[in-house]
Homo-oligomer: A and B are copies of this chain.
Amino acid sequence: MNQDYIKPDAWSIIEEGFDKGRVKSSESLFSIGNGAMGQRANFEEQYSGPSFQGSYIGGVYYPDKTKVGWWKNGYPEYFAKVLNAPNWIGINVFVDGETLDLNTCREVRNFRRELNMKEGYLARSFEAVLPNGIEVEVKALRFLSIEDDELGAIRFEITPISTDAEIRFEPYLDGSITNTDANWEERFWETLEVKTKSEKGFVVSKTLKTGFHVGTYMQSEIQLEGKEVSQKPEIKTGEDSVSFSYSVAVQKGKTTAIIKYAGYVTDMNHKESELIQAASGVLDKAVDKGFEKLKEDQKKAWAKIWEMADITIDGDVMAQQGIRFNIFQLNQTYLGKDARLNIGPKGFTGEKYGGSTYWDTEAYCIPFYMATKDQQVARNLLTYRYNHLEKAKENASKLGFSNGAALYPMVTMNGEESHNEWEITFEEIHRNGAMVFAIYNYVRFTGDFDYIPEKGLEVMIAIARFWHQRANFSKEKNKYVILGVTGPNEYENNVHNNWYTNYIGKWCIEYCLEMIDKVKDGFEDDYHRIMGLTSLNEGEMAEWKEVAEEMYFPYSEEYGVFLQQDGFLDKEIIPVAELDKTQRPINQKWSWDRILRSCYIKQADVLQGFYFFEDHFSKEELEKHFDFYEPLTVHESSLSPCVHSIQAALLGRMKQAYEFYLRTSRLDLDDYNKEVEQGCHITSMAGTWMSIVEGFGGMRIEDDKLSFNLQIPQQWNAYSFKINFRDRILKINVTNEKSEFSLEGEASLEIIVNGKNVELHPNNTVSV
Task: Spell out A's residues near B (CB within 8 Å).
Answer: 66-70, 72-74, 398-400, 420-423, 426-427, 472-477, 481, 483-484, 493-497, 566-567, 569-573, 587-594, 596-597
Contacts and interface: CB of A to CB of B under 8 A. Distances in A.
Contact of A422 (B68, B426, B593): B593
A484 B593 contact: yes
B426 A73 contact: no
A69 B72 contact: no
Contacts of A495: 494
B592 A496 contact: no
A591 B589 CA distance: 32
Contact of A73 (B483, B493, B572, B587): B587
A476 B399 contact: no
8 contacts: A67-B67, A67-B69, A69-B421, A73-B590, A73-B592, A472-B570, A474-B570, A483-B567
A570 B476 contact: yes
Contact of A494 (B72, B497, B571, B596): B596
Nearest to A400: B594
Say what secondary structure dominates the interface of chain A. loop
Contacts of A66: 69
A466 to B, nearest CB: 13
A358 to B, nearest CB: 15
A756 B585 CA distance: 64
10 nearest interchain CB pairs? A74-B591, A426-B593, A484-B597, A476-B569, A72-B592, A68-B69, A483-B597, A474-B570, A399-B591, A422-B592
A70 B420 CA distance: 8
Given A69-B420, A73-B589, A472-B571, 20 more contacts: A66-B69, A68-B68, A68-B69, A69-B69, A72-B591, A73-B592, A400-B594, A423-B494, A426-B591, A426-B592, A472-B572, A473-B572, A475-B569, A476-B569, A477-B570, A483-B570, A484-B597, A494-B494, A497-B570, A567-B567
* Identical subunits present: 2
Contact of A594 (B399, B421, B567, B596): B399
A550 B366 CA distance: 51
Contacts of A398: 591
A174 to B, nearest CB: 28
A588 B73 contact: yes
A223 B559 CA distance: 89
A36 to B, nearest CB: 30
Contacts of A493: 493-494
A72 B484 CA distance: 20
A494 B597 CA distance: 9
A475 to B, nearest CB: 7
Nearest to A470: B597
A68 B421 CA distance: 10
A572 B481 CA distance: 10
Contacts of A426: 591-593
A326 to B, nearest CB: 27
B567 A496 contact: yes
A560 B496 CA distance: 23
A408 B592 CA distance: 17
A192 to B, nearest CB: 29
Nearest to A183: B69
Given A494-B596, A592-B73, A566 B569 contact: no
A465 to B, nearest CB: 16
Nearest to A556: B476
Nearest to A483: B597
B69 A590 contact: no
A400 B570 contact: no
A474 B569 contact: yes
B496 A570 contact: yes
Contacts of A494: 423, 493-495, 596
A279 to B, nearest CB: 38
A474 to B, nearest CB: 4
Contacts of A476: 569-570
Contacts of A399: 591, 593-594
Contacts of A594: 399-400
A473 B484 CA distance: 24
Which of A74, A484, A571, A573 is packed against the most chain B CB atoms within 10 Å? A484
Contacts of A569: 474-476
Contacts of A69: 66-69, 420-421
A420 to B, nearest CB: 5
**Residue with the greatest number of chain B CB neighbours at <10 A, chosen from A74, A476, A573:** A476
A66 B70 CA distance: 11
A566 B398 CA distance: 29
B590 A400 contact: yes
A481 B70 contact: no
A744 to B, nearest CB: 48
A69 B353 CA distance: 12
Among A67, A400, A570: residue with most chain B CB under 10 A: A570
Nearest to A472: B572
A422 B486 CA distance: 15
Nearest to A74: B591
Contacts of A591: 72-74, 398-400, 426
Given A591-B399, A592-B72, A594-B400, A570 B427 contact: no
A46 B570 CA distance: 63
